[in-house]
Amino acid sequence: MQLYDPEHRTKATPTWNAAVAGEKVIAVGYPQDDINYPNGAVAYGKILSDTEATQTIQKLKIAGDTEGDIPYNSSAEFLIEAQAIAGMSGGGVFNADGQLLGIMVRGSDKENAPQIIRVVKISHIKSTMIAFYNSLSETNKNKIRPFISGEL
Protein backbone atom coordinates (compact mmCIF):
# COMPACT_ATOMS: atom_id res chain seq x y z
CA MET A 1 0.00 0.00 0.00
CA GLN A 2 1.45 3.37 -1.00
CA LEU A 3 0.98 6.53 1.00
CA TYR A 4 0.53 9.89 -0.75
CA ASP A 5 3.75 11.73 0.12
CA PRO A 6 5.01 13.90 -2.78
CA GLU A 7 7.63 15.60 -0.56
CA HIS A 8 8.96 12.24 0.72
CA ARG A 9 8.57 13.38 4.32
CA THR A 10 7.75 9.91 5.63
CA LYS A 11 10.97 8.55 4.14
CA ALA A 12 13.12 11.28 5.70
CA THR A 13 11.92 10.75 9.25
CA PRO A 14 9.74 7.79 10.21
CA THR A 15 6.37 9.02 11.46
CA TRP A 16 5.59 5.89 13.46
CA ASN A 17 7.53 3.38 15.50
CA ALA A 18 7.22 0.34 17.76
CA ALA A 19 6.49 0.81 21.45
CA VAL A 20 9.39 0.10 23.81
CA ALA A 21 8.77 -1.03 27.39
CA GLY A 22 9.77 1.66 29.90
CA GLU A 23 9.59 4.44 27.30
CA LYS A 24 7.89 7.67 28.37
CA VAL A 25 4.99 8.67 26.13
CA ILE A 26 2.35 11.32 25.67
CA ALA A 27 -1.26 10.45 24.84
CA VAL A 28 -3.34 13.11 23.10
CA GLY A 29 -7.12 13.00 22.80
CA TYR A 30 -10.33 14.98 22.86
CA PRO A 31 -12.42 14.14 25.96
CA GLN A 32 -16.19 14.29 26.04
CA ASP A 33 -15.88 17.15 28.54
CA ASP A 34 -15.25 19.96 26.06
CA ILE A 35 -16.01 22.66 28.64
CA ASN A 36 -12.99 21.79 30.81
CA TYR A 37 -10.94 20.49 27.87
CA PRO A 38 -11.88 22.66 24.85
CA ASN A 39 -8.46 22.10 23.24
CA GLY A 40 -8.13 18.42 24.07
CA ALA A 41 -6.21 16.71 26.83
CA VAL A 42 -2.90 14.96 27.29
CA ALA A 43 -1.77 12.14 29.53
CA TYR A 44 1.86 11.40 30.27
CA GLY A 45 2.91 7.87 31.10
CA LYS A 46 5.24 4.94 30.75
CA ILE A 47 4.87 1.88 28.51
CA LEU A 48 4.54 -1.28 30.59
CA SER A 49 6.47 -4.43 29.73
CA ASP A 50 4.39 -7.47 28.76
CA THR A 51 5.00 -8.94 32.23
CA GLU A 52 3.95 -5.69 33.93
CA ALA A 53 0.89 -5.47 31.68
CA THR A 54 -0.21 -9.02 32.50
CA GLN A 55 0.26 -8.36 36.23
CA THR A 56 -1.65 -5.09 35.95
CA ILE A 57 -4.58 -6.81 34.25
CA GLN A 58 -4.76 -9.20 37.23
CA LYS A 59 -4.72 -6.25 39.65
CA LEU A 60 -7.53 -4.61 37.68
CA LYS A 61 -9.58 -7.81 37.85
CA ILE A 62 -9.12 -7.99 41.64
CA ALA A 63 -10.13 -4.31 41.95
CA GLY A 64 -13.32 -4.96 39.95
CA ASP A 65 -12.33 -2.79 37.00
CA THR A 66 -13.80 -3.99 33.69
CA GLU A 67 -10.33 -3.80 32.10
CA GLY A 68 -9.41 -6.81 34.25
CA ASP A 69 -11.94 -8.91 32.33
CA ILE A 70 -10.22 -8.27 28.98
CA PRO A 71 -7.13 -10.43 28.38
CA TYR A 72 -3.90 -8.66 27.46
CA ASN A 73 -2.86 -9.32 23.83
CA SER A 74 0.81 -8.39 23.40
CA SER A 75 0.73 -8.84 19.61
CA ALA A 76 -1.98 -6.21 19.16
CA GLU A 77 -1.65 -3.82 22.08
CA PHE A 78 0.47 -2.29 24.79
CA LEU A 79 -0.49 -0.65 28.07
CA ILE A 80 0.66 2.68 29.38
CA GLU A 81 0.65 3.61 33.02
CA ALA A 82 -1.34 6.84 32.84
CA GLN A 83 -4.78 8.23 33.58
CA ALA A 84 -7.08 8.94 30.66
CA ILE A 85 -10.20 11.06 30.58
CA ALA A 86 -13.40 9.63 29.09
CA GLY A 87 -13.48 10.35 25.38
CA MET A 88 -9.73 10.31 24.71
CA SER A 89 -10.17 7.04 22.82
CA GLY A 90 -9.11 7.36 19.21
CA GLY A 91 -6.31 9.73 20.11
CA GLY A 92 -2.66 9.00 19.42
CA VAL A 93 0.15 7.90 21.71
CA PHE A 94 3.53 9.38 20.79
CA ASN A 95 7.13 8.84 21.87
CA ALA A 96 9.66 11.61 22.65
CA ASP A 97 10.52 11.88 18.93
CA GLY A 98 6.88 12.60 18.05
CA GLN A 99 6.43 9.22 16.37
CA LEU A 100 3.00 7.61 16.56
CA LEU A 101 3.13 4.36 18.52
CA GLY A 102 -0.57 3.53 18.63
CA ILE A 103 -4.17 4.58 19.15
CA MET A 104 -5.87 4.71 22.57
CA VAL A 105 -8.89 2.44 22.85
CA ARG A 106 -9.75 1.97 26.54
CA GLY A 107 -8.71 2.92 30.04
CA SER A 108 -9.25 1.83 33.60
CA ASP A 109 -11.81 3.78 35.59
CA LYS A 110 -11.86 2.53 39.19
CA GLU A 111 -10.29 4.81 41.79
CA ASN A 112 -8.73 1.93 43.74
CA ALA A 113 -7.30 0.28 40.61
CA PRO A 114 -4.11 0.89 38.63
CA GLN A 115 -4.54 3.69 36.09
CA ILE A 116 -3.78 2.36 32.62
CA ILE A 117 -4.60 3.13 29.02
CA ARG A 118 -4.88 0.34 26.42
CA VAL A 119 -3.27 1.22 23.11
CA VAL A 120 -3.54 -0.65 19.81
CA LYS A 121 -0.09 -0.86 18.25
CA ILE A 122 0.30 1.07 15.02
CA SER A 123 2.16 -1.93 13.57
CA HIS A 124 -0.93 -4.07 14.26
CA ILE A 125 -3.19 -1.50 12.60
CA LYS A 126 -0.90 -1.34 9.56
CA SER A 127 -0.65 -5.12 9.14
CA THR A 128 -4.42 -5.51 9.56
CA MET A 129 -5.09 -2.85 6.92
CA ILE A 130 -2.62 -4.41 4.49
CA ALA A 131 -4.14 -7.87 5.01
CA PHE A 132 -7.61 -6.42 4.41
CA TYR A 133 -6.49 -4.63 1.25
CA ASN A 134 -4.77 -7.77 -0.06
CA SER A 135 -7.97 -9.77 0.52
CA LEU A 136 -9.99 -7.48 -1.77
CA SER A 137 -10.89 -8.34 -5.33
CA GLU A 138 -9.06 -6.40 -8.04
CA THR A 139 -12.31 -4.51 -8.73
CA ASN A 140 -12.51 -3.29 -5.14
CA LYS A 141 -8.77 -2.54 -5.00
CA ASN A 142 -9.21 -0.37 -8.10
CA LYS A 143 -12.03 1.53 -6.39
CA ILE A 144 -9.91 2.55 -3.40
CA ARG A 145 -6.48 2.71 -5.05
CA PRO A 146 -6.83 6.44 -5.91
CA PHE A 147 -7.26 7.25 -2.25
CA ILE A 148 -4.16 5.42 -1.11
CA SER A 149 -1.84 6.32 -3.96
CA GLY A 150 -2.49 10.06 -3.96
CA GLU A 151 -4.38 10.12 -7.25
CA LEU A 152 -7.83 11.70 -7.40
Kindly give, in sequence order, each residue whose CB lies less than 8 Å from that of residue 59, ignoring residues fewer than 6 positions away: 68, 113, 114
pLDDT at 7: 74
Q: Look up the CATH number of the domain holding residue 23.
A: 2.40.10.10
52-69: pLDDT as tens digits: 999 999 999 999 999 999
Does 150 reside within a domain?
A: no
Amino acid 96 reads: A
CA distance 29 to 19: 18
For residue 29, give its domain range: 12-139
Q: What is the pTM of this model?
A: 0.84
67-106: pLDDT as tens digits: 999 999 999 999 999 999 888 999 999 999 999 999 999 9
The count of structural domains within the chain is 1
SS3 46: strand
Does 151 reside within a domain?
A: no
